[in-house]
Amino acid sequence: MRIGGPVGQLFEPESTLHALELLREHAADETPFLVMGGGSNLVVGDIGFDGAVIRMVSSELDIDGDLVTAAAGLEWDYLVRTTLSEGLSGLEALSGIPGTVGGTPVQNVGAYGALTSDVLDSLTVYDRETGVAERWTPDRCGFGPHRQSIFKRRNRWVVLDVTYRLRRSTESKPIKYAALAEALSVDIGGTAAAADVREAVLSIRRKRGMVLDPEDHDTWSVGSFFLNPVLESVPPRAAECPTYHDGEGVKLPAAWLIHNAGFAPGYGLDWGNGTVALSSKHALAVTNRGGATTSDVMKFAAHIRDGVEARFDVRLSPECDLVNCSF
Mean pLDDT confidence for 40-53: 95
Average pLDDT value over all residues in the chain: 94
**Is residue 311 packed enough to be buried (19+ CB in 10 Å), middle (13-18) or exposed (0-12)?**
middle
Residues 201 and 68 placed together within one structural domain of the fold: yes
Residues 42 and 169 placed together within one structural domain of the fold: no
The Cα-based distances of 89 to 70, 81, 176 in angstroms read 16, 10, 15
Residues 93 and 160 placed together within one structural domain of the fold: yes
The number of distinct structural domains making up the chain is 3
Kindly report the CATH number assigned to the domain that includes residue 315.
Answer: 3.90.78.10
Asked if 319 and 229 count as a contact pair (C-beta separation under 8 A), the reply is no
> Does position 248 have pLDDT exceeding 90, yes or no?
no
Q: What length does the chain have?
A: 327
> CA 298, CA 5: separation in Å to the nearest integer?
14
> Does position 147 have pLDDT exceeding 80, yes or no?
no
Residues 92 and 171 placed together within one structural domain of the fold: yes
Residues 190 and 232 placed together within one structural domain of the fold: no
Max Cα-Cα span within the chain: 58
Domain assignment present for residue 212? The answer is no
Domain assignment present for residue 2? The answer is no
Domain, as residue range, for 314: 217-323
Residues 88 and 186 placed together within one structural domain of the fold: yes
Please name which of 76, 107, 111, 82 lies closest in space to residue 94, comparing C-alpha atoms. Answer: 111
Asked if 105 and 139 count as a contact pair (C-beta separation under 8 A), the reply is no
48 vs 144 pLDDT, higher one = 48
The identity of residue 91, as a single letter, is L
Q: Which of 173, 207, 241 is the last residue of a domain?
A: 207
Domain assignment present for residue 129? The answer is yes
> Does position 155 have pLDDT exceeding 90, yes or no?
no
Residues 203 and 319 placed together within one structural domain of the fold: no
The 3-state secondary structure of 97-134, one letter per residue: CCCECCHHHHHCCEECCEEHHHHEEEEEEEECCCCCEE
Please name which of 110, 93, 176 lies closest in space to residue 149, comparing C-alpha atoms. Answer: 110
- Residue 146: pLDDT band with limits 50, 70, 90: low
Count CB atoms within 10 A of the CB of residue 42.
18
User: Model's pTM, two decimal places?
Assistant: 0.88
- Residue 208: pLDDT band with limits 50, 70, 90: confident
Domain assignment present for residue 193? The answer is yes
Instruction: Determine the pLDDT at residue 210.
Output: 83
**Is residue 266 packed enough to be buried (19+ CB in 10 Å), middle (13-18) or exposed (0-12)?**
middle
Q: DSSP code of 37?
A: S
Residues 117 and 231 placed together within one structural domain of the fold: no
Q: What is the pLDDT of residues 52-93, one digit of tens each?
A: 999 999 999 999 999 999 999 999 999 999 999 999 999 999
Domain assignment present for residue 1? The answer is no
> Does position 228 have pLDDT exceeding 80, yes or no?
yes
Residues 303 and 222 placed together within one structural domain of the fold: yes
Residues 81 and 199 placed together within one structural domain of the fold: yes
Q: Which of 151, 184, 207 is the last residue of a domain?
A: 207
DSSP helix/strand/coil, 318: strand
Q: Which of 154, 174, 207 is the last residue of a domain?
A: 207
Residues 200 and 78 placed together within one structural domain of the fold: yes
Catalytic residues: 147, 224, 319
Residues 178 and 310 placed together within one structural domain of the fold: no
Strand (E) or helix (H) holding 167: strand 167-168
DSSP helix/strand/coil, 217: helix
Kindly report the CATH number assigned to the domain that includes residue 140.
Answer: 3.30.465.10
